[in-house]
Structure 1
């Protein structure tokens, strides 16, 4: 794929992911995790992630992109509403804060892209797919984890340092 096709594909994917996150869905679903991993794999497989002779700066920018992707995924996971119904199923739905976090994530990615260009790095279209995949996968893992945590029972034992009958 050329750069324009990857850019259009990335925007379409982003729109679909955001749309899906704003709808009520099972919190433990693996769909977004699998999708994120596929996007990451497509970006890595697409090549061009690193220049032919990568510079320290180029590798550093990719590392910063990866850390940013996971951090923004964690931030968005924190903004998603997660609850458990009476039947025991955990559900998740994005909030207005989730949309705001997506906007900040997108702006930060563009800023990093611009900074890389200003430093003389060439644009790597595959990096957009890797960033999208990592951020979606991180968010999916953390939302699913929050959903699972809702179902954890309170321990039946009371620690020795806490007298029986007190709130745990």
Structure 2
């Protein structure tokens, strides 16, 4: 996939995800939440230019640093989402202002990493952004689902015979 198409895909998916996260919506814990991150990750990992072949060590450090940043940001994002149960027992989620701040922090870190790559004269593939987005979405959803399970009502009480 071309760099421009990857970048456009990152921007579109990010905008859709952010818009969706800021609205209150019912949480479907049965949904296959891992499908989109797996597809995005597979597309990113297929790119032979994910790492700069001229300096694979520094390029790998830069990509790895980006992945560590999105792991942290995904966790923060998952913990900043408001989760509640309605009277019908349905779980609902909605992003908060802290969610937006987490996104802002991640964008600042990504710009910083891009700047470091520029200083080191490394080719930076847009596939690294795509891979980061995949990890971010997966981690965030895992955290939200784990928190939601903590709100699950206990199973039926055992009735003594």
Interval of TM-score (by shorter of Structure 1 and Structure 2)? 0.7 to 0.9
Aligned match of 2:2:
2
Look up the SS of the partner of 1:105 in the other structure.
helix
Aligned match of 2:19:
19
Aligned match of 1:123:
124
Per-residue CA distance 1:97-156 (angstroms, 9 max, x = gap): 1112112111211111111121121111210100111111110111111111111539x9
In 1: Cα distance, 2:124 partner to 2:59 partner? 10
Where structure 1 has 5 or more consecutive residues not aligned to the other structure, the ranges are 157-168
In 2: Cα distance, 1:39 partner to 1:71 partner? 19
Q: TM-score under structure 1 normalisation?
A: 0.82
Where structure 2 has 5 or more consecutive residues not aligned to the other structure, the ranges are none
In 1: Cα distance, 2:10 partner to 2:30 partner? 22
In 2: Cα distance, 1:38 partner to 1:152 partner? 33
In 2: Cα distance, 1:29 partner to 1:91 partner? 14
Contact 1:30-1:140 within 8 A present in 2 as well: no
Look up the SS of the partner of 1:50 in the other structure.
coil
Aligned match of 1:40:
41
Higher radius of gyration, 1 or 2: 1
Contact 1:36-1:136 within 8 A present in 2 as well: yes
Superposition deviation, residue 9 in structure 1? 2.0
Aligned length: 155
Q: TM-score under structure 2 normalisation?
A: 0.85
CA gap of 1:61–1:138, structure 2 versus 1, over 3 A, is: same
Contact 1:7-1:125 within 8 A present in 2 as well: yes
